[in-house]
Structure 1
Amino acid sequence: MEQHKAIYTAKVQTIGSSNGTARSVDGRFKDLLAPPDAEAPDTRPEQLFAAGWSACFEGAMQLAARKMNVLLPPGFAINTEIDLQDATDGYFLGARLKVSLPELERNVAQAIIDAAHQTCLYASATRSNIHVALSFS
């Protein structure tokens, strides 16, 4: 079996579930977590997931654009929405990634987004178990 070398390991400890605290072992990250019905300004775990997915997708788009010899427009953005949904047999997630690629031709933008969706680690990790909707403007 092929050996893989980790290039980074995130180490986070949570205490108190989604009504507690998450902190990285190195102390660089600490956040209070809140349940879905909380009105407090604390962070929902789904927000952290959306932030990670957006960052990963942006990196995958940059890689795809480089391979296609396309310069991404300045200020391109990804708005990621993660839904926590309730079903009779438990909770599940849904995701919507809305990509803003001003100034790019529609077919070029679509090719970059499609390639990013194939290579983004979050998209790969959730493939077939989270409904994902991609759109762009």
Structure 2
Amino acid sequence: MKTLYTGVATTTGGREGNVRSDDGILDLDLSMPKSMGGKGAEKTNPEQLFAAGYSACYGSALQIVAKKHKVDLGDFSVTASVELGTTEDGDLELSVVLDSYIPGVDVETGEKLVNEAHEICPYSRATRDNIDVTLNLMLDDED
């Protein structure tokens, strides 16, 4: 692999600690969500950070495939919902739902873009066959 960029972050204190990038741009306190027994403080958590990274990366992949197919994405957005749950054996497991809002495209074109983006996105490639990822295409309602 030819390295294009290396992001570095260090967490101290686990889920109740702090995460900081090596350049100091990212410097966030973490808290455990109430649903997991935490205090529910207004701080972020690993699942939100993963969702932010995945949605941004996948959005860039959508831009690449849209350009290739000469499709204008308009005011598009990607929302990643990252779930942390347990397996039948009690092991922790992640799943992701990616909602891609692409206004002004037809279903066939939108599905092609969403699926092709999933093939090239580094986050999608890293999670493939490891966690469930659901792709949803969100379009404008036509009355």
Report the TM range for the smaller structure's normalisation.
over 0.9
Is residue 33 from structure 1 mapped to residue 2 from structure 2 by the alignment? no
Aligned to 1:57: 58
Task: Tell me which residue corresponds to 2:4.
Answer: 7
TM norm structure 2: 0.89
2:46 maps to: 45
Following the alignment from structure 1 to structure 2, what is the Cα–Cα distance between the partners of residues 34 and 123?
26
- Paired residues of 2:33 and 2:41 also in contact (CA < 8 A): no
Q: CA shift at 1:98, angstroms?
A: 0.7
Amino acid at match of 2:8: K
Separation (CA, whole Å) in 2 of partners of 1:119 and 1:5? 16
* Structure 1 residue runs without a partner (length 5+): none
Aligned mates of 1:85, 1:45 — CA distance in 2:
13
CA drift at 1:102? 1.3
Percent identity between the two aligned chains:
35
1:76 is displaced (CA, Å) by 0.8
Aligned residues: 133
Calculate the aligned-residue CA RMSD, in Å: 1.0
Q: CA deviation at 1:35?
A: 1.5
Unaligned runs of 5+ in 2: 139-143
Cα deviation code 1:67-121 (max 9, x no counterpart): 1111111x21111100000222410000001111111011001100010000000
Aligned to 1:18: 15
